[in-house]
């Protein structure tokens, strides 16, 4: 269904013990992101952005509530089921690229596909297609150490969407880049989101980039709220 959110958080709660007290990070937090939508997550350090991304990406379990990915409830999944869902339906981009240094750009984008069971030749074709789209077709054989910061991050974005995920989660994906390179990488990521129809939740401190997304949300008193920039 076209009106079905690719990512939905339903009354999600997350609490941590702090001495004898309980620290509430998320308090019945709700969020829905549609296919092809880019949502900026703008909130102060320590407000729970990373916790929210980890829960949305099934890296951390909420204390209550549910995460629904492309219509499938993930609350009752066991660890193996959550791993399978992460591998097939969710892509991650971090502030640091986390590319495997011993492999080329092409191989870095091939690996998640091959882990998912795709044949090597088909994974290579898909990797070349994505790297071409990211304007890196001439850098496929280069290792991460031979790439610039912007190139490394574009390879990381290509790797994140290699398995055609429904959801893309990014944590300060341009935070380590200069303004010019940051804009270039953001433009490439935006084009990929629009072309693929993936739902993107992007944590950023850069208000200029946040204003270029479809909308922005923030975290306030454990709730996810609309945010005006």
Count of domains forming the chain: 1
| pLDDT value of residue 3 | 60
pLDDT 10s digits, 20-74 = 788 888 999 999 999 999 999 998 877 888 899 999 999 999 999 999 999 999 9
| pLDDT value of residue 135 | 87
Mean pLDDT in residue range 5-30? 89
Q: What is the CATH number of the domain that holds 221?
A: 3.40.50.300
No. of helices (H) and no. of strands (E), the chain = 7, 10
Model confidence at 139: pLDDT above 60? yes
Residue range of the domain that includes 109:
2-226
| pLDDT value of residue 1 | 41
Mean pLDDT for the chain overall: 90
CA gap 69, 75 in Å, rounded:
10
Mean pLDDT in residue range 149-166? 91
Tokens of 79: 């660890």
């Amino acid at each position: 269904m076209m009106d079905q959110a690719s990512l939905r958080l339903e009354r999600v709660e997350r609490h941590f013990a702090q001495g004898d007290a309980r620290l509430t990070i998320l308090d019945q937090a709700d969020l829905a992101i549609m296919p092809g939508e880019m949502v900026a997550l703008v909130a102060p350090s320590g407000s729970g952005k990373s916790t929210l991304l980890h829960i949305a990406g099934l890296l951390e379990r909420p204390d209550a509530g549910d995460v629904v990915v492309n219509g499938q409830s993930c609350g009752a999944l066991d660890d193996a089921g959550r791993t399978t869902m992460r591998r097939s339906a969710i892509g991650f981009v971090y502030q640091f690229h986390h590319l495997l240094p011993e492999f080329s750009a092409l191989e870095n984008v091939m690996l998640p596909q091959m882990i998912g069971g795709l044949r090597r030749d088909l994974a290579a074709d898909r990797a070349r297609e994505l790297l071409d789209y990211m304007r890196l077709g001439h850098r496929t054989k280069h290792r991460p150490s031979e790439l610039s910061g912007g190139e490394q991050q574009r390879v990381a974005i290509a790797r994140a969407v290699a398995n055609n995920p429904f959801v893309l989660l990014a944590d300060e994906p341009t935070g380590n880049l200069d303004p010019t390179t940051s804009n270039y990488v953001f433009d490439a990521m935006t084009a990929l989101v629009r072309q693929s129809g993936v739902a993107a939740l992007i944590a950023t401190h850069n208000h200029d980039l946040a204003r270029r997304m479809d909308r922005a949300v923030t975290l306030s008193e454990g709730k996810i709220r609309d945010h005006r920039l």
